[in-house]
Structure 1
Amino acid sequence: MSTLAAQTRWLDAIDQAALVASGDVKPGELVEAAIERIEEIDPALGAITLRYFDQARAAAEAGPTGPLAGVPFLIKDLLTDVAGQACTEANIALKAQALPASTDSPLVAFYRAAGLIFAGRTASSEFGTIPTAESAAWGRTRNPWNTALSSGGSSGGSAAAVAAGMVPAAHASDAAGSIRIPASCCGLVGLKPSRSSGGAAVAPMAELGLIGSHLAVTRSVRDTALLLDIARGVQAAAPDGGYLAGLGTAPGQLRVGLLDTRFDGSPVHPDCAEAARSAARLLESLGHHVEPGFPAAVGDSTLDGLFATFWYSIMADVFGEVGRRLGRELTEADVEPLNWALGGLAPDVTAEDRQAAREGVAGFTRSVVSWWDDHDLLLTPTLAEPPLPSGTLESDSVDPLASLGRSLQFAPFTPFVNFAGLPAISLPLHVNTDGLPIGVQLVAAPDREDLLLRVAAQLEIAAPWQGRRPAL
């Protein structure tokens, strides 16, 4: 690896942008360093699906401007358009078609205007359905901390690329945990914004728009804050504006509820329980008040059927959109077994069922959000288990829905946040005895990303994680 590629490998996006702003490094040099790292590291991980190296070089040569001018970046290969490039949704039929988009998605346009340079696309599960970045179209993305393990997902390609030092940050999206899950598996910061997050919430289908948010995975809280500023169109350079500017403000003494078991009281993996308890002790040492508690509504098992209807409805929209792009109806050969099974259930969902699901989400939101009248944050493990062995969640035609049930066992703490429209962040505060990162999740009331980011910055100072790096 060249000197510059090695020297810039572990810098966050803000530090890389500072090198460009000072004139010490040219944008083209940063891009070449990232390309070199991708070419050297990615063969062991499979994090990158499509490479935009020539376009990245041209963008660097054009002289980018903005708060992150010249910083190399990657875009998730799911539900996000980049002008002139394909988006495969990790689907074999769309991969074969490779139809370029005519315009950028809104969030991509924000990122481009901020000076980020797109070097390629990152892996996901097909349609983002399960929390891995493993697909028939692109194969398995592996975890840089242990390549026998999954990187999580569905933004697992982005997480693996950032954790391995290919780029300092990468786009990610989250409809049931797909930012926070891979952030936990790969030792990164992953913020899922609120439902009302403006430019950060970019989803083209109605039901998905109720629960889906887009942002990024990063190595530092300040990068996450700046990217959220960019996604919302905030001029982060202004002295009095933006989430980045707010990081220096102490969060005050917070009331934190702790959940270190599953919702029904059954245990999670000891490593995950200890991650949450250790974070609770750290919060208490910083002057916050922590006690057991969580919104009772999230443990209501009668909601499962309602939410299943919601997901079937989403899959119907997905099939319709993919069919439109292909110019034909999807066939079983085009889709992985789990998604084909979900698509087969979708026609049974009536308009009345859809409306009932939307109303159910609204009612659930009211029940959950009321808990924050007496609390500031909820603390949970991000996941119920450490990173899973690669291939654990792959579906098969014998029992295609089994992988979905296994996914929910693995990640029980993330979906309710999406259905309630809350902001949540996964932080890499814990490492188990095997050296694997174990994330903790903090959840706040709607539109309180400011509070999440301020306490995250406080924790980052108290228990810094930047020195932890995979050996890969």
Structure 2
Amino acid sequence: MTDRVHAFTDDALGEHDAVALAALIRTGAASPEEVAEAALARAEAVNPRLNAIAYRSPRPRYAEPDSSGVWFGVPAFVKDNADVAGMPSRFGSAAITPHPAAADDRFTAQLLSTGVTVLGKTTLPEFGFISSTEFETGEPTRNPWDTGRTVGGSSGGSAAMVAAGVVPVAHGNDGGGSLRIPAACAGLVSLKPSRFRHLDNAQARQLPIKLVSEGVLSRSVRDQAVYHAAAEKYWRNPKLPPIGTVEGPSARTLRIGLLTTSANGRQPDAATLAAVTATAAILESAGHTIEPMDSPVAPRLVEDFLQYWGFLAQMSGVTGKLSHGRSFDAARLDAFTKGLAASFRRRLLSTPGALYRLNKARADYDTVLTRYDAILSPVLTHATPELGYLRPGVPYDELIERVTNFVGYTPINNVTGSPSIAVPAGLTETGLPVGVMLSGAYGGERTLLELGFLLEAQAPFPRIAAATTGS
């Protein structure tokens, strides 16, 4: 029997998503203070087992009382790689001596415009470089569905808090799958928006190729739809078509490519393939055309992505004092970050070619997407592994092979800048969540949300409280 843990109970939060909770607050049936108190009590009950909170604020940060935000009073957490004024940012790294941020970063302000109450910061692996929220030393962040398993990464702490019912939504970002991977591991929904859809935080603005997109993790598709529409009201990129208000499936019939082979040629395990096949059947029964397809990008993408990832690891050490203060200690970077950087240095001369091909991948992807309205694929090649399998202390060559074999689908969208949504698609025989992914053309978030609504209606997402028999 898996060791599940959750905080759902008969309090002010109930099992509400953010939309429902905000409605209660607007009508006076609940107050921001009441729901924040309930969320903190839930955190106190489960975080000792999950280790998902990097920093708990001594006082919740409430939105102004006259806030018109759609989620006014809804409690949430911010991932610990985004600055919130007065709260430290450690980026999951022992190399950083944390100090309170002087101001909100640009995206943080966009997030806060929704009216959420910030309770603190959530855990991530060092600089978000690995797909499991584990650390070379110290306790890992655990998966509420099975505390012996990883909750994925890098937005693992946020995923754990939402899946366990502590808060209905939490911030995350995605530079190689860091929203969608933990969503799949924890039975959640998350939309990685198109490149430049929303404002960026400081770290993302420094990248030669912008991989990172900001978003949230939630338990419902409508929370994703409402969030991205609200974020656009704060700031909208005029070069992209607006997402607007999405409230359910569309009547349009679509041509959807079915992609089962990962970018590095791996096949999904039986449970993942079954989930994708069942999802394809749901979409087909709704009138959509499903057509098997090959990868929309060249096979070299994985190797080139790793070279660029290594460049980012190298720069994390080289520019650490400039980015994080004079107390930054590169000697304390974890073994995986050091391994990525060393790999980059060994293949330094291949970097210009890798950057050229990564930039070209956008055009290749766009050409393929002229034939399809969306792509259906797994999120991951296999079920979430046991803790330790992806721990930074595993020898680098072995670990990087494990990572690339686990994460074979999500980086495509970061490289090409295209949007992608992860939604739950049932449970394995041992009760672990399985996620599927729908990816679209650049600027095509609306189509993905409409498909997400359809899947949620036709195959309601598993609920951890209903599945729990122990805790």
What TM-score, normalized to structure 1?
0.90
Residues 284 and 91 of structure 1, relative CA distance in 2, 3 Å threshold: same
Contact (CA 8 Å) 2:110, 2:235: kept in 1 or not?
Answer: no
The alpha-carbon distance between structure 1 residues 70 and 303, as it changes in their structure 2 partners (threshold 3 A), is closer
Amino acid at match of 1:31: A
- Cα pair distance change 1:359/1:3, threshold 3 Å: closer
* Structure-2 residue corresponding to 1:405: 401
Which residue number in structure 2 is paired with residue 82 of structure 1?
Answer: 84
Q: Which has the higher contact order (CA 8 A, sep 6+)?
A: 2
Residue identity matched to 1:391: G
Distance 2:464 2:336 in 1: 36
Matching residue of 2:330: 331
Which residue, out of 397, 411, 423, partners 2:419?
423
1:297 aligns with 2:297: yes
1:453 & 1:9 partners in 2: Cα distance?
Answer: 25
Q: SS state of the match for residue 283, structure 2?
A: helix
Among 48, 51, 58, the residue aligned to 1:43: 48
Which sits farther off after the overlay, 181-190 or 136-145?
A: 136-145
What residue is the counterpart of 1:24 in the other structure? 29
Report what 1:204 is aligned to: 204
| Distance apart, 1:64 and its partner CA | 4.7
Q: Deviation string for 1:277-319 (max 9, x for gaps)?
A: 0000010011100021133534x1x344433331222123322
- How many residue pairs align between the two structures? 458
Contact in 2 for aligned 1:195/1:210 (Cα 8 Å): yes
Superposed displacement of residue 267, structure 1: 3.0
Is 2:156 aligned against 1:156? yes
Residue of structure 2 equivalent to 1:165? 165
CA distance in 2, matches of 1:73, 1:150: 22
Q: Is the 8 A contact 1:251 1:451 kept in 2?
A: no
Once residues 429 and 412 of structure 1 are traced to their aligned partners in structure 2, the CA distance between those partners, rounded to angstroms, is 18
C-alpha contact (below 8 Å) 2:8/2:164 kept by paired residues: no
Could you say which residue in structure 1 is the equivalent of 2:391? 394
Consecutive unaligned residues in structure 1, runs of 5 or more: none
Q: Can you list the C-alpha shifts for 1:34-75, whole angstroms capped at 9, x where unaligned? A: 10100011111111111014143xx26856542111000001
1:228 positional shift: 1.4
Compared with structure 1, are the counterparts of its residues 269 and 466 closer, same or farther at alpha carbon in structure 2 (3 Å cutoff)? Answer: closer
What are the within-5 Å matches in structure 2 for residues 119-268 of structure 1? Answer: 119-136=119-136, 139-199=139-199, 203-207=203-207, 210-233=210-233, 243=243, 245-248=245-248, 250=250, 252-263=252-263, 266-268=266-268
How much has 1:139 moved relative to structure 2?
2.3
Distance 2:340 2:45 in 1: 38
Preserved CA contact (<8 Å) 2:52 2:160: yes
Deviation at 1:273, TM superposition (A): 0.5
Q: Which runs of 5+ in 2 are unaligned?
A: 1-5
The match for 2:69 is: 66
Answer whether contact 2:172 2:217 (CA < 8 A) is retained: yes
1:154/1:265 Cα in 2 relative to 1: closer, same or farther (>3 Å)? closer
Aligned to 1:450: 446
- Output the CA distance in 2 between the equivalents of 1:378 and 1:188: 19
Structure 1 or 2: more helix by fraction? 1
Residues 266, 235 of structure 1: CA spacing in aligned structure 2 closer, same or farther, 3 A cutoff? closer
Determine if contact 1:81/1:87 at 8 Å carries over to the other structure. yes
CA displacement 1:221-245 (0-9 Å, x = unmatched): 1111122123333599xxxx97462
* Partner deviation per Cα, 1:369-399 (whole Å, 9 max, x = no partner): 21011111111111111111012111337x2
Aligned to 1:363: 360
> Quick one: structure 1 residues 92 and 3, their matched pair in 2 at CA, closer, same or farther if it must change by over 3 Å?
closer
% same residue: 31
Name the SS of the counterpart of 1:11 in structure 2: coil
After superposition, the Cα gap between the structure-2 partners of 1:249 and 1:308, relative to the gap in structure 1 and judged at 3 Å, is closer
What is the deviation of 1:364? Answer: 1.3
Deviation at 1:4, TM superposition (A): 7.9
CA pair 233-135 structure 1, distance change in 2 beyond 3 A: farther
Q: Which residue of 1 aligns with 2:320?
A: 322
How far did residue 138 of structure 1 move?
5.5
1:374-432 Cα distance to aligned partner (Å, 9 max, x none): 111111111111111012111337x2243222111111111111111110011102211
Structure 2 residue identity aligned to 1:27: P
**Contact 1:123–1:138 (8 Å) recurs in 2:** no
Residue 137 of structure 1 and its aligned partner are, at CA, apart by: 6.4
CA contact (8 A) 1:185 1:437 kept: yes
Following superposition, the deviation at residue 450 of structure 1 comes to: 0.6
Paired AA for residue 224 in structure 2:
T
Q: Verify the 8 A CA contact 1:208 1:314 in the aligned structure 2.
A: no
Q: CA RMSD for the aligned pairs?
A: 2.6
Letter matched to residue 325 of structure 2: L
**CA spacing shift, 1:186–1:253, aligned 2, 3 Å:** same
Quote how far apart the aligned CAs of 1:342 are: 2.3
Aligned partners of 2:384 and 2:7: how far apart in 1?
Answer: 31
How has the CA–CA distance of structure 1 residues 423 and 141 changed in structure 2, closer, same or farther, with 3 Å as cutoff? Answer: same
Preserved contact between residue 279 and residue 429 of structure 1 (Cα < 8 Å): yes
Asked whether the equivalents of residues 163 and 188 of structure 2 are also in contact (C-alpha less than 8 Å), the reply is: yes
Q: Please, which moves more after superposition, 368-377 or 162-171?
A: 368-377
Whichever residue aligns with residue 323 of structure 1, its letter is: K
1:440 paired residue number? 436
SS of the residue aligned with 1:110?
helix
Structure 1 residues 353 and 210, CA gap change in structure 2 (3 angstroms): farther
Partner residue in 1 for 2:16:
11
TM-score (norm 2): 0.90
Separation in 1 of the partners of 2:199 and 2:443?
A: 14
What is the CA–CA distance in structure 2 between the aligned matches of 1:187 and 1:466, rounded to whole Å? Answer: 7
* 1:301-343 residue CA offsets vs partner (Å, 9 max, x unmatched): x3444333312221233224432223156333x1111112223
Residues 145-178 of structure 1 show CA distances to partners (whole Å, capped at 9, x for unaligned) of: 1111111111111111100000000001111111
